[in-house]
Structure formats: C-alpha cells, structure tokens
Amino acid sequence: MQAGYRLRVAEERDLAALPGIERRAAALYASHGVPASVLEVTRTPAELASGLAGERLWVAADAQDRAVGFALAIELAHGVHLEEIDVDPEHGRRGIGTALVLHVCETARHRGHAHVTLTTFADVPWNAPFYERLGFRVLADSEVPEALRGILDDEARRGLDSARRVAMRRRVEPHRRALRRVTAAWLFAIVALSAVASVRPQLLLQWTPYIPGRDKTGHFLLMGGFAGVAVLAFAGRRFRDRRIPALLVLVAVTLIVVLEESVQRWLPMRTFSIVDLASSLAGVLCFGGLAALWRSLRGDR
C-alpha cells in the first residue's frame, strides 16, 4: 500500500461514507454485464453496524483519515468469509485492495480460523485472477461448504449470473496442520518410550546417567515439549463454532500425563513415581504456559 494510507478498525463516523464507496466501486462492473439493479444495492446500515460491533469491519484511510476503502467479513462454520471489499476508484491501483485482503487473512489467523473464503466473478480481471495472486484458489463444486453455497444461491436470486460466479478459499494457518502432526508424533513417541521402558528398560537406563537430573529431566522435557506443541497446534482452533482455549488444551495434556504415569502401576518392570509425575507436570506448566503466553503476546485468541 502506498504511503499516505493506513488500515484501521472502522469507527462510527466512517459508516456514512461506506455505501458511497461501494456504489462507486460497483460502477466499474457496468461494462462487464452486471445489471444496474444489482450495482445500486449496498450493504445495509444494520450489516455495517454489526460488522463494526463485532470488529469485522476495517477501513483504509487517506492522509486526512477519511475512509477510501473498506472490507467487511463474517464468521461462518468453515472460517472467515470476506463478504464485501471495495476501494474508491479515485484511490485505485495503490495497493489498498491487496492490503485490505491480507489484513482480513491475518486477522482471521489470529482469531483461530484456518480459512478465508469469498465469492467473486471468475472473468473480471480484478476479481478471481487478483485473488489467485494473493493465494486464494477456486473451489470445485464438491468443495463448497453449505454456508458458502447458500451465499452463492442468494447472489443468484439478487440477479448475479451464477455461471460467472465462483467461490474461492485461502488457507491462513498452514503451520497448524504441521503442528498437529508433530503433536501426534510426539504423543506416539511418549507411548513408544513407555512401552520400551516396560519391555527393555536397559535400553533407556544406559543413557540416563549422562543426563543432568537423570530421568526427571527427561520427564520434564518430554511432557513439557508435548504440552507446548499441543497448545500451539490446538489453542484458538474452532470446534463447533467455539474456540478451544489454551487452558483446555493444558487440562487435556495434564490428564494424558497423569494417565501415562498412573498406568505404570500395572505395567511389568515399571513403578509409579510421584516425583516423575511432578517433573512431568512441571514441564507441562512451564512449556505449556510459555506457549500460551507467546500466543497471547502475538494477539492470537
């Protein structure tokens, strides 16, 4: 985005200017066969007010802090949906639209969503081709979520040619999938080490004399690392329209740790140790807490 512009959360004073920006931006579609009746329709005051109240409405402001573009998003079951994005044509080709889209994607990531979706024209240069350059891809018909299909159907009822409209999606949390795999692998390693310690304890015991703190350090690092990765992988994720808090992840990890140590009462060549359990829980508190703090400082919810 060029100098002289900035992005910010919309304010009450911006709302009156947004319908005018939307109409002027929509006028550019007149030469692309979009009916005039559709071009005159703008987001309602209620929709804009709801976006403002939910911190889902952002504006691009000029040097005088006047809104010259805006983006409105809604939260759906499949992620954040970019419902409207417009830039006043007088301020076009200055990177404002790109900045708004990327800001919505970053905000969606911070709020624990995995995807951002939108619907747009496949054959208009500043629509689907533009979004593809920003990492969005066109969804096949079988990939379109139910809520997004409803939006496409509503657009058709309002007069938009459904044959020209496409749904697009961008993943905004690619690292989450890798972290979930790491978490699963870490848990598998814990189970495998526990099994080895039960069947062939000498394979592990020969290495413990070389570790400061011996097996207590191992419990601290192994379970603590598991807690830290689990928080980064799952905290803030959405499940049935609710975000998973870091505390819930830590509670789940704690239960796994307690279960892992408790079952040693019945495993051959293993004994339950309250000291080992304390070391493990100290690691969970330390590394899990640091991961939760790091997410908080980054603004992740």
Tell me whether residue 1 is in a domain.
no
Sign of CA dihedral 173, 74, 169, 5: negative
Same domain, yes or no: 166 and 194: no
> CB–CB of 62/68 below 8 Å?
yes
Rounded to the nearest 5°, which phi and psi values hold at 25?
-70, -40
Please say which residue of 111, 145, 171 terminates a domain: 171
* Element spanning 120, H or E: strand 115-121
Same domain, yes or no: 214 and 75: no
Burial class of 230 by CB neighbour count within 10 A (0 to 12, 13 to 18, 19+): buried
Sign of CA dihedral 121, 127, 132, 135: negative
The interaxial angle of helices 246-262 and 215-234, nearest 10 deg, is: 150
The number of distinct structural domains making up the chain is: 2
Same domain, yes or no: 140 and 100: yes
Same domain, yes or no: 88 and 127: yes
Please say which residue of 116, 136, 171 terminates a domain: 171
Tell me whether residue 258 is in a domain.
yes
Please say which residue of 138, 171, 204 terminates a domain: 171
Q: Give every residue of the chain whose pLDDT is below 70, as ranges.
A: 174-176, 201-214, 238, 240-241, 269, 298-301
> CB–CB of 114/173 below 8 Å?
yes
Tell me whether residue 61 is in a domain.
yes
CATH code (residue 62): 3.40.630.30
> CB–CB of 283/223 below 8 Å?
yes
Per-residue model confidence (pLDDT) at position 146: 93
pLDDT digits (tens, 9 = 90+) for 147-160: 999 999 999 999 99
Same domain, yes or no: 163 and 186: no
Same domain, yes or no: 199 and 153: no
Cα 247 to Cα 235, 251, 288, 290, distances in angstroms: 8, 6, 9, 12
Per-residue model confidence (pLDDT) at position 207: 60
pLDDT digits (tens, 9 = 90+) for 106-129: 999 888 788 999 999 999 999 999
Burial class of 250 by CB neighbour count within 10 A (0 to 12, 13 to 18, 19+): buried
Same domain, yes or no: 90 and 163: yes
Same domain, yes or no: 280 and 192: yes
pTM: 0.67
Same domain, yes or no: 34 and 106: yes
CB atoms within 10 A of CB 276: 20
Same domain, yes or no: 219 and 276: yes
Same domain, yes or no: 239 and 104: no
Expressed as residue numbers, the domain containing 230 is 174-297
Same domain, yes or no: 78 and 102: yes
